[in-house]
A and B are shown apart, each in its own frame.
Chain A
Amino acid sequence: MRKTNDLILQTVTKIVSFMIFMFALHIFFAGHNNPGGGFVGGLLTSGAIVLLLLAYDLKTVAGSLPIDYKILIAVGLLFAVGTGLGSLVFDVPFLTHAHDIFTLPILGETHLHTAVLFDIGVYLVVVGTTMTIIQTIGENE
């Protein structure tokens, strides 16, 4: 097969995939007060990785992002279940969340909520699942 030259696609991808990733993080953290959250954030992140997959190939991307996405799913689930398990420790009903206002060094007064931990779980599971599906289908000869 003749080797094609993907210079424009690859260069644009280098910039755009970072922008998508940053936007995904923004959407993820906006979830509590604005539209967004773990699910759509996770989808956007995997969108960024899929763009990398389109511009490069499976091996290159797997080399630069050495993540086993199946383990990522398990870690995400662990986050989600673990948030609930915290409530077992404090003997309140399962999945009871806690929140408070903390003063952090750079960010100043920040409203922190354990629901974010749950959302991180959702985020990781969504990224893991999407990427597992795409990689497994892509690998098949």
Chain B
Amino acid sequence: MSNLLILPIIIPLLTAVFLIFFKKYILVQRWISVISVTATLVTSIILVEKVKNDGIQTLDVGSWPAPFGITLVSDMLSALLVTATSLIALCCIIYSFRSIGEGRERNYYYPVVQFLIVGVNGAFTTGDIFNMFVFFEVMLMSSYVLLVIGGTKIQLRETIKYILVNITSSALFVISVAYLYSVVGTLNMAHISERIAEVNQPAILTVLAVLFLIVFGLKGAIFPLFFWLPGSYYAPPAAIMALFGALLTKVGVYSILRTYTLFFYHDTGFTHELLMILSLLTIVLGSIAAVAYKDMKKIVIYNIIIAIGVITYGIGAMNTDALTGSVFYLIHDMVIKAVLFLLVGLIISITGANSYDKFSGLIKHYPLLGWLFFISVLALAGIPPLSGFIGKILIVNGAFSNGDLVGGLIILISSLFVLYSLMRVFINGFWGDPEGSKKKESIRMGTYLFPVIILVGTAVAYGVFSEYVHMYVSQAVEVIENPEMYIEAVLQK
């Protein structure tokens, strides 16, 4: 069926619309959301298989041929990211059943989550730069609502900051697209790439590359532009935080990856060098901040920033190893950040303390929680059999083969900081005498831990079967490295 690749966008959209009708019936809302996200997950897995067997899938929406209408493009990269998004959304929705609270559930929580999935899946799938902007806005508007829903004081304050920053960056996005349109005269991404190859990237396009880096850097939080993230992500409840941490910044990273490998790859001397330097600074500052705080949420938030730096460094390095590593690390990081936020949210709801030095000995009463946390920290730091290893080793490999010794070493040392920052939580919070962490009978661990177990299982399997995953990732990287494949698939030459 030709419409397969639009199903991961349509199913959540239709669900969101239906859920508006069932505002008062919370149980109905929960069941419909879970069923629809499962359906989205299944279709996206089918899509991955389809892309694996038949190559890049394209759909000309409204039957208008490629450069004139909006084309949706599903190559392996976007299909994998859509699958990861659906899986994470499913787990976050199950987690929010008990944790999010009835007040939020009654006020359109589930429809807005569905709209968020529409935005993220759409941004991953679209092949049109302005359509990407529109999906960014769908995603951002839902995230505004999710950030403010519930209306506590801290949420209101942080939402104002978040909206201001994102409105600014969206305006910049429109300006950049307008500039790009005035230079190349088209909005279809494959067509833009073709036109840029024809004019061989004059100076104005390098300026545009930097403008796009600023725009997507604001969305994805790289070095000088991450100032808004720690405060904003601190405000909402754990399930929403997990959705944000796993999905939103990664859309920015995906857009940098797309634009820097599809559009601006002709004159990499300035732009990619700049991207690499900014990434390394992001890693360094993120590492410093991650070890500076005792607040668990802050630690995980700064770990997002470190991971963004690692991924964008791989994009800047632009060789096969580094790009493969980036794609590996991107998917790993989506899953593992969702896990960490869900676990930290659970720990906070058990102990009632944000800082890890306020409690100890949690493992006595909650052994499963403790070991899940331990495994996910090891996976995050990149200990070999687990998921973070293969991506990081490939990025470091890419850095060394480019002759960038400093970059590779910074990434390696940052792993140590990542491990240290979260292992402190494990040692201080889970070991020792059980003080300040009495067993709470009121918390039914099953519904909380079930989604976490799914995600940790995915992360472990992702690392153990990385040989198998590599087949898919290498297909994604093949398209990233050869933009002609993308152009040919879209413009049907």
Contacts and interface: CB of A to CB of B under 8 A. Distances in A.
Nearest to B9: A94
A112 interface: no
A81 B13 contact: yes
B10 A94 contact: yes
B405 interface: no
A96 B14 contact: no
Given A81-B10, A81-B13, A81-B14, A93 B60 contact: yes
Q: How large is the interface on B (under 10, 10 to 19, 20 to 34, 35 or more residues)?
A: 10 to 19
Given A78-B17, A81-B17, A93 B1 contact: no
Contacts of B269: none
Interface string A8-23: 0000000000000000
B406 interface: no
Contacts of A96: 62-63
A133 interface: no
A93 B3 contact: yes
A53 interface: no
A72 to B, nearest CB: 10
Contacts of B17: 74, 77-78, 81
Given A93-B3, A94-B59, A84 B10 contact: yes
Given A84-B10, A85-B10, A88-B3, A93 B61 contact: yes
Interface string B68-92: 0000000000000000000000000
A87 interface: yes
A74 B10 contact: no
A67 to B, nearest CB: 14
Interface in A86-101: 87-88, 91-97
Contact of A94 (B14, B16, B21, B61): B61
A71 interface: yes
Contacts of A92: 2, 63
Contacts of A81: 10, 13-14, 17
A82 to B, nearest CB: 9
B288 interface: no
A85 B17 CA distance: 14
B20 A74 contact: yes
A24 interface: no
Contacts of A116: none
A93 B62 contact: yes
Nearest to B13: A81
Contacts of B347: none
Contacts of B2: 91-93
A73 interface: yes
B434 to A, nearest CB: 48
Interface in B1-28: 1-3, 6, 10, 13-14, 16-18, 20-21, 23
Contacts of B18: 74
A114 to B, nearest CB: 11
Nearest to B111: A74
5 contacts: A84-B10, A85-B10, A85-B14, A87-B3, A93-B59
Interface of A: 70-71, 73-74, 77-78, 81, 84-85, 87-88, 91-97
Interface of B: 1-3, 6, 10, 13-14, 16-18, 20-21, 23, 59-63
Closest 5 CB pairs of A and B: A74-B20, A96-B63, A77-B17, A95-B62, A94-B6
Given A77-B13, A95-B61, A96-B63, 19 more contacts: A71-B21, A74-B17, A74-B21, A77-B16, A77-B17, A77-B20, A81-B10, A81-B13, A81-B14, A81-B17, A84-B10, A85-B14, A92-B2, A92-B63, A93-B2, A93-B3, A93-B59, A93-B61, A94-B59
